[in-house]
Chain A
């Protein structure tokens, strides 16, 4: 598929419902140091569709994607095969470098099906921020900054705790019965538009304009992140009360609240901003979450703690 041929991609502005999913993606973009989003949820909930649409809305291209059957040379880089077979050694960047060059987002669809040795590579790179290659006659070391975005269906198994921890935010995606009708309408409408690709209808052009407007507002939010210092204590208290492992939870919570405030146009981070992102930042860090592999351990008890700490 030509990267420019996007008639088959539903525009981001056409995504119906799934507010937590879109919020997480937007937060991760506005505050890239959060280091990515894991979307875990039921089949047929539009996870992959939304991620692709989001990437296209931001960068006018599909995300750099690691498919589950990728070989190591394509992940870390290797040689261009056609040129090699003609006797010329021309390096070919791997997907990690491509993602770094394209803004940082590295997308893995069905991340829980990824081969173990590829997972090990990603764990190493995301932990150290360094891509070091010593293979096939290539030797180099490069600093890279990537943000993993993964989608998965937990029915097919969970993630290793180390990989789960690499995702800054996690969303448990569920079917929204109240939106089924609208989803149906949108998709059928879109199917019809795809059937006549040479004449996109007016509503589709309008959605693309809305996408452009959304991109601009996200970029503005990126430029006006409020100071997170005033809410650090609250974030630490919340993560301590929820018995989250390590300090990363508090850090991500603060960064996510910062981004949420910017998206809402707040000059300062409010308690509601923290409340809005608490589950996204912490649900895969509370005790027991990693044993499930999909982090889905957030419930009424955790919400009660949030309410108690934030008031």
Chain B
């Protein structure tokens, strides 16, 4: 089962360039599934082995790899097979292809390693007695769903030099399904792979012979590159460099001098799939002269070759501008110029300088930056300072394991790391021991190691939202939510008076992992109901604080409670707890709310804030509530409502 040929050839050429150019040893495939990643990995290894004439290692970097595995622990050769580190490539080590199947779930240790190693001529290893400076010999291949780029650090994404889109499945989904059921893997056309591999081999021979003495690129080539990618001040130079290097690589594959057409082809490769159509190899590369006929003025429409339906046309029979527009849409600026050259001396049929929408007469069509760099516009869905390793005293028993640390407490000893630390000193200690023949490990206090754990939330933001009065005022929460994002706080939303639900006499609590949790937005966007069980809402807040801070190994050390209300709770606490109203209600709802607010104000490590509703019908009630909560800076209230 094979991929469509024209798209595949372009894809393979891009992978070949990645293999031969060290500056492009980081490839990101958008929306690639497992099979497509596997194909890309196999092709890359094939091209690398052809180019370098040495075996290539490969492994998959998963979300579970942590520092010890990535960088090693100095125990290689002592019975520990990966003591050297998966990402450490000392001099003489084979080049490694590291595959990251889903960049959006890469662990923080691995992401930090990528930052250190990608696009860097040198890396430093300074761990556990080991000191090594080395040139990273790694080619990175990662997959990421376009929709998930907001979850990946922009700093990390910027390190990927080449962004490609897999050519897509074969046209018939039934054939694809049959193939999957039979276990037939997706594979590229072997003849195509062989052709590209042969080009790679030629490049190797040429470079080794020192035969690449091409003159510097013409200024127009740089115009092309700079014109292709937006020049927003904050984008650095990496994007232009990657485009330039891709163009250089394409020229090398052809053993030609770098020209504008290579830039055009590079733009096509990067912008592949922007319009949902497979890329077409540039006819200019196949020799523009073959497309142009002679005599009679009949010209085959270059768009017809392998592309979307476009009827062949007679040049003279069509409006030249219309034909030229089609050439422009096909990113064939070079071809347009060559056509001009053919009519040199006569009238200019295609006045290049007057191309609508082009900023410079020789610039290719700018690539669709939003398509190639989706992170520029994608909503941020990653933690604040996502590449930082946040640890704390409170998270010593919780949170994911991210490494080891020294400890002097027996209640948190990690057995294996402790034994590994002790193993370094066994020979030394036995020499000096009074009983060197004794069996077992000689263990000292300095060997004790504990697991180092990633941070769990230590701060809790509780939002008590009186939906009946404030359902349109949630933007007032913005500073609190921003702080919660920076602090990686957990967020609990308690909705008071929301429509629907099990019982409108009760408030509803939604616990979220943080500001990025989609449940948070839903909890803040509810329609108002009839009742306002404010006392029950504050009661749920009280319970949440006790649960997270004061019971057992409570992990929270600081809680912020933000109450958005007009203060007019109309459901007694007893009614909320029982779920029934047994008789007429006077001011019990307000009185109960004040009592619970008083309880909240007496809690340690808790700070309360009050945001008044847009319409405050009883300012005195709200002021009393603010006092009961112990709000440090009570809000200024508007006058009586009209």
A residues touching B (Cβ–Cβ < 8 Å)?
Answer: 1-3, 8-9, 42-46, 48, 52, 62, 65-75, 78-81, 84-89, 92, 95, 109-110, 112-113, 115-117, 135-137, 153, 155-157, 174-175, 177, 180-181, 183-185, 187-189, 191-192, 194-196, 198-199
**Quick one: which of B145-161 are within 8 Å of A by CB?**
153-155, 158
The answer to whether B389 has its CB under 8 Å from any CB of chain A is yes
CB distance from A88 to the nearest CB of B (A): 7
- Contact, CB under 8 Å: A69 / B446: no
**Quick one: which of B482-514 are within 8 Å of A by CB?**
none
Chain B residue contacts of A196, Cβ below 8 A: 207, 210, 212
Interface-side segment among B239-247, B459-467, B573-581: B239-247
Partner pick for B128 among A45, A73, A156, CB 8 A cutoff = A73
Check A79/B237 contact, CB under 8 A, given A157-B384, A192-B212.
no
Q: Roughly how many angstroms separate A92 CA and B406 CA in the complex, as a whole number?
A: 19
Partner pick for A43 among B238, B240, B387, CB 8 A cutoff = B238
CB distance from A141 to the nearest CB of B (A): 19
CB within 8 Å: A-B pair count: 175
Q: Roughly how many angstroms separate A135 CA and B425 CA in the complex, as a whole number?
A: 14
The answer to whether B71 has its CB under 8 Å from any CB of chain A is yes
CB distance from A62 to the nearest CB of B (A): 7
- Contact, CB under 8 Å: A153 / B126: no
Interface-side segment among B115-123, B301-309, B588-596: B115-123
CB distance from B375 to the nearest CB of A (A): 11
Q: Roughly how many angstroms separate A62 CA and B120 CA in the complex, as a whole number?
A: 13
CB distance from A63 to the nearest CB of B (A): 10
- Contact, CB under 8 Å: B424 / A156: no
Chain B residue contacts of A199, Cβ below 8 A: 210
Chain B residue contacts of A117, Cβ below 8 A: 405
Partner pick for B248 among A88, A116, A188, CB 8 A cutoff = A188
Q: Roughly how many angstroms separate A110 CA and B113 CA in the complex, as a whole number?
A: 12
CB distance from A178 to the nearest CB of B (A): 10
The answer to whether B231 has its CB under 8 Å from any CB of chain A is yes
Chain B residue contacts of A95, Cβ below 8 A: 126
- Contact, CB under 8 Å: A191 / B23: yes
Tell me which of A95, A116, A180 has the highest count of chain B C-beta atoms within 10 A of its own C-beta. A180
| Shortest beta-carbon contacts, A-B, top 8 | A44-B236, A157-B385, A81-B129, A44-B238, A74-B126, A87-B427, A8-B121, A70-B126
Q: How many residues on B have C-beta within 8 angstroms of the other chain's C-beta atoms?
A: 71
Q: Roughly how many angstroms separate A110 CA and B115 CA in the complex, as a whole number?
A: 9
CB distance from B174 to the nearest CB of A (A): 45
Chain A residue contacts of B131, Cβ below 8 A: 74, 92
- Contact, CB under 8 Å: B244 / A43: no
Partner pick for A184 among B22, B112, B241, B446, CB 8 A cutoff = B241
- Contact, CB under 8 Å: A180 / B135: no
CB distance from B418 to the nearest CB of A (A): 14
The answer to whether B216 has its CB under 8 Å from any CB of chain A is yes
Tell me which of A79, A153, A198 has the highest count of chain B C-beta atoms within 10 A of its own C-beta. A153
The answer to whether B127 has its CB under 8 Å from any CB of chain A is yes
Q: Roughly how many angstroms separate A199 CA and B213 CA in the complex, as a whole number?
A: 12
Q: Roughly how many angstroms separate A113 CA and B78 CA in the complex, as a whole number?
A: 32
Q: Roughly how many angstroms separate A52 CA and B66 CA in the complex, as a whole number?
A: 28
Chain A residue contacts of B386, Cβ below 8 A: 156
Partner pick for B236 among A45, A84, A89, A136, CB 8 A cutoff = A45
The answer to whether B233 has its CB under 8 Å from any CB of chain A is yes
- With CB as the reference atom, state the residue of chain B lying closest to A174: B233
CB distance from B58 to the nearest CB of A (A): 22
CB distance from B148 to the nearest CB of A (A): 18
Chain B residue contacts of A153, Cβ below 8 A: 155
The answer to whether B175 has its CB under 8 Å from any CB of chain A is no
Partner pick for A180 among B129, B154, B226, CB 8 A cutoff = B226
Chain A residue contacts of B233, Cβ below 8 A: 174-175, 177
The answer to whether B225 has its CB under 8 Å from any CB of chain A is yes
- Contact, CB under 8 Å: A73 / B129: yes
- Contact, CB under 8 Å: B244 / A188: yes
- With CB as the reference atom, state the residue of chain B lying closest to A72: B406
Tell me which of B78, B123, B126, B384 has the highest count of chain A C-beta atoms within 10 A of its own C-beta. B126
- With CB as the reference atom, state the residue of chain B lying closest to A86: B427
A156-B155, A191-B23 known; 9 new pairs, CB 8 Å cut-off, are A8-B122, A46-B237, A66-B124, A74-B130, A81-B128, A92-B131, A113-B112, A177-B233, A180-B226
CB distance from B252 to the nearest CB of A (A): 9
Q: Roughly how many angstroms separate A183 CA and B236 CA in the complex, as a whole number?
A: 11
The answer to whether B635 has its CB under 8 Å from any CB of chain A is no
- With CB as the reference atom, state the residue of chain A lying closest to B217: A188
- With CB as the reference atom, state the residue of chain B lying closest to A83: B428
Partner pick for A89 among B155, B210, B428, CB 8 A cutoff = B428
CB distance from B361 to the nearest CB of A (A): 17
- With CB as the reference atom, state the residue of chain B lying closest to A71: B127
Partner pick for B112 among A2, A46, A69, A155, CB 8 A cutoff = A69
What are 18 residue pairs bridging A and B, where the CB atoms are less than 8 Å apart in the complex? A1-B91, A2-B91, A42-B236, A44-B158, A52-B121, A67-B126, A71-B128, A73-B129, A75-B126, A85-B424, A112-B388, A117-B405, A156-B153, A156-B155, A157-B388, A188-B245, A191-B248, A192-B212
The answer to whether B133 has its CB under 8 Å from any CB of chain A is yes
Chain B residue contacts of A46, Cβ below 8 A: 237
CB distance from B240 to the nearest CB of A (A): 6
CB distance from A72 to the nearest CB of B (A): 8
Q: Roughly how many angstroms separate A72 CA and B405 CA in the complex, as a whole number?
A: 10
**Quick one: which of B198-221 are within 8 Å of A by CB?**
207, 210, 212, 216-217
- With CB as the reference atom, state the residue of chain A lying closest to B211: A196
- With CB as the reference atom, state the residue of chain A lying closest to B404: A71
Q: Roughly how many angstroms separate A81 CA and B231 CA in the complex, as a whole number?
A: 50
CB distance from A84 to the nearest CB of B (A): 5
CB distance from B45 to the nearest CB of A (A): 21
Q: Roughly how many angstroms separate A42 CA and B239 CA in the complex, as a whole number?
A: 13
- Contact, CB under 8 Å: B388 / A110: no
Q: Roughly how many angstroms separate A180 CA and B231 CA in the complex, as a whole number?
A: 9
Check A181/B428 contact, CB under 8 A, given A43-B236, A67-B126.
no
Q: Roughly how many angstroms separate A116 CA and B217 CA in the complex, as a whole number?
A: 47
Partner pick for B234 among A81, A135, A175, A183, CB 8 A cutoff = A175
Q: Roughly how many angstroms separate A184 CA and B112 CA in the complex, as a whole number?
A: 27
Tell me which of A71, A95, A155, A174 has the highest count of chain B C-beta atoms within 10 A of its own C-beta. A71
CB distance from B550 to the nearest CB of A (A): 27
- Contact, CB under 8 Å: B71 / A69: yes
Q: Roughly how many angstroms separate A18 CA and B427 CA in the complex, as a whole number?
A: 53
CB distance from A15 to the nearest CB of B (A): 12
- Contact, CB under 8 Å: A44 / B237: yes
Chain A residue contacts of B474, Cβ below 8 A: none
- Contact, CB under 8 Å: A136 / B446: yes
- Contact, CB under 8 Å: B71 / A183: no
CB distance from B504 to the nearest CB of A (A): 43
- Contact, CB under 8 Å: A181 / B226: yes
- Contact, CB under 8 Å: B127 / A194: no
Partner pick for B113 among A66, A69, A73, A116, CB 8 A cutoff = A69
Q: Roughly how many angstroms separate A71 CA and B86 CA in the complex, as a whole number?
A: 18
CB distance from A155 to the nearest CB of B (A): 6
The answer to whether B67 has its CB under 8 Å from any CB of chain A is yes
CB distance from A238 to the nearest CB of B (A): 29
- Contact, CB under 8 Å: A184 / B222: yes
Chain A residue contacts of B116, Cβ below 8 A: 67-69, 109-110
- With CB as the reference atom, state the residue of chain B lying closest to A66: B126
- Contact, CB under 8 Å: A65 / B124: yes
- Contact, CB under 8 Å: B388 / A8: no
The answer to whether B431 has its CB under 8 Å from any CB of chain A is yes
Chain B residue contacts of A156, Cβ below 8 A: 153, 155, 385-388
- Contact, CB under 8 Å: B124 / A85: no
Check A195/B212 contact, CB under 8 A, given A70-B126, A174-B233, A177-B233.
yes
Partner pick for A45 among B237, B240, B387, CB 8 A cutoff = B237
Check A177/B135 contact, CB under 8 A, given A74-B127, A156-B386, A156-B387.
no
Q: Roughly how many angstroms separate A44 CA and B156 CA in the complex, as a whole number?
A: 11
Chain A residue contacts of B234, Cβ below 8 A: 42, 174-175
- Contact, CB under 8 Å: B135 / A85: no
Chain A residue contacts of B22, Cβ below 8 A: 194
